[in-house]
Amino acid sequence: MTSEQENWSLVIEPREKWWNLHLRELWNYRDLILIFVRRDIVAVYKQTILGPLWFFLAPIFTVVAYNFVFGSIAGMSTDGIPGPIFYLSGTTLWNYFSTCFTTTSNTFTSNAAIFGKVYFPRLIAPISTVLSTLFKFGVQLLMFFSLLGYYMLFEDTSIHLTYWVFAFPLLIIMMGGLALGVGIILSAMTTKYRDLQNFIGFGVTLLMYVSPVIYPVSAVPEGYKWFIKYNPISPIIEAFRLGFTGVGTVNAIDLVYSGVLIAAILLVGVIMFHKVERTFMDTV
């Protein structure tokens, strides 16, 4: 035995430095992310024939309801664009966020069975959730584009594309990043304090009301505007609307602010997640 060969490839210790984010390890497992994404999508397809149809039905009913309640009854502004387009643009993006957020916030509890048996970087699970939800988002986006095309071709409206469309991929990344960040923060907290789970449900609903989903930022009274402006979701939705419908209250600084905040949330989330992932099996 060569007694003092102390170059171990793996050292497991009770505590780790908080700045060790295991990003290299995550990269080594990149194939697993793709396979998880594929599994999530295929499993949804295989379970029900109607599966993907729900992707269409849910937003249609939502938009019809919003159009009726907020548009016809409450008479809220839609920035001068047709109600269906306005609400669909908002809900499509919002649905992506809320689905990612609620699923990732359950990461530990819903993956307990598999986490309890084998090790792989736990962050893989929420990351692949955010990626596989893109599929559902894509389907709904297709619907939005069809409706948009219909209005642009056959209806006399002021809808037009602007250069902001090119920001679209960035907006998706930001939305996914934010959902991931907030989701893993909550997942880290809910493993220990289960009662937080009750909060998530109505928390998402509350968050929607302080985001410009069913109303434009331009319609917010001056005294409350700061509140909406500090919400990192607002610039994303407004930029999306500005790009595809030509109306939106956003500038580059808002978007940069939002991006920086999201990056910070993600970083905090990853640190908290790593802290919890090491021992969560003992409490779950």
Partner 1 sequence: MKGDRIIAVENLSKQYRLGMVGSGTLREDIAGAWYRLRGKEDPYLKLGEVNDRSTKGSSDYVWAIKDVNFDVKQGEVLGIIGKNGAGKSTLLKLLSRVTAPTTGTIKANGRIASLLEVGTGFHPELTGKENVYLNGAIMGMRKSEITRKMDEIVDFAGVERYIDTPVKRYSSGMYVRLAFAVAAHLEPEILIVDEVLAVGDAEFQKKAIGKMEDVSSGQGRTVLFVSHNMKAVSSMCTRTLLMQNGTVAFNGNTNEAIDRYLGNEANGDDVLFNGENPVENNSSIVLNYAKILAPENGVFKTTDQIPIEVSLSFTESINAFHLNMHVWTTSEVRLFEASTDAVEIIKGDRKTFKFFIPKRLLNANQYTCNFNFVINRSKVIYSAGKLLKFSVIEAVEENNLLWYGKTYGLLSVKIRSEVD
Q: Could you tell me the smallest distance in angstroms from the CB atom of residue 280 to partner 1?
A: 8
User: What do you get for the CA distance between the two ends of the chain, in Å?
Assistant: 41
Q: Could you tell me the smallest distance in angstroms from the CB atom of residue 276 to partner 1?
A: 11
Closer of 14 and 223 to partner 1 (Cβ):
14
Q: Could you tell me the smallest distance in angstroms from the CB atom of residue 177 to partner 1?
A: 24
217: nearest Cα among 76, 32, 82, 97:
76
Q: b/e map of 239-261 (b: 16 or more CB within 10 Å)? A: bbbbbbbbbbbbeeebbeebbeb
Q: How far is CA 63 from CA 18, 83, 213, in A?
A: 44, 8, 11
Closer of 1 and 73 to partner 1 (Cβ):
1
Place of tokens 């499509």: 92
Closer of 19 and 193 to partner 1 (Cβ):
193
Q: Could you tell me the smallest distance in angstroms from the CB atom of residue 36 to partner 1?
A: 8
Closer of 99 and 197 to partner 1 (Cβ):
197
Binding residues vs partner 1 (CB under 8 A): 1-2, 5, 7-15, 28-29, 31-32, 34-36, 38-39, 42-43, 46-47, 114-120, 192-194, 278-283
Closer of 137 and 280 to partner 1 (Cβ):
280
* Spatial CB neighbours of 121, under 8 Å, sequence gap ≥ 6: 22, 25, 26, 29
What 3-state class would DSSP assign to 36?
Answer: helix
Q: Could you tell me the smallest distance in angstroms from the CB atom of residue 98 to partner 1?
A: 25
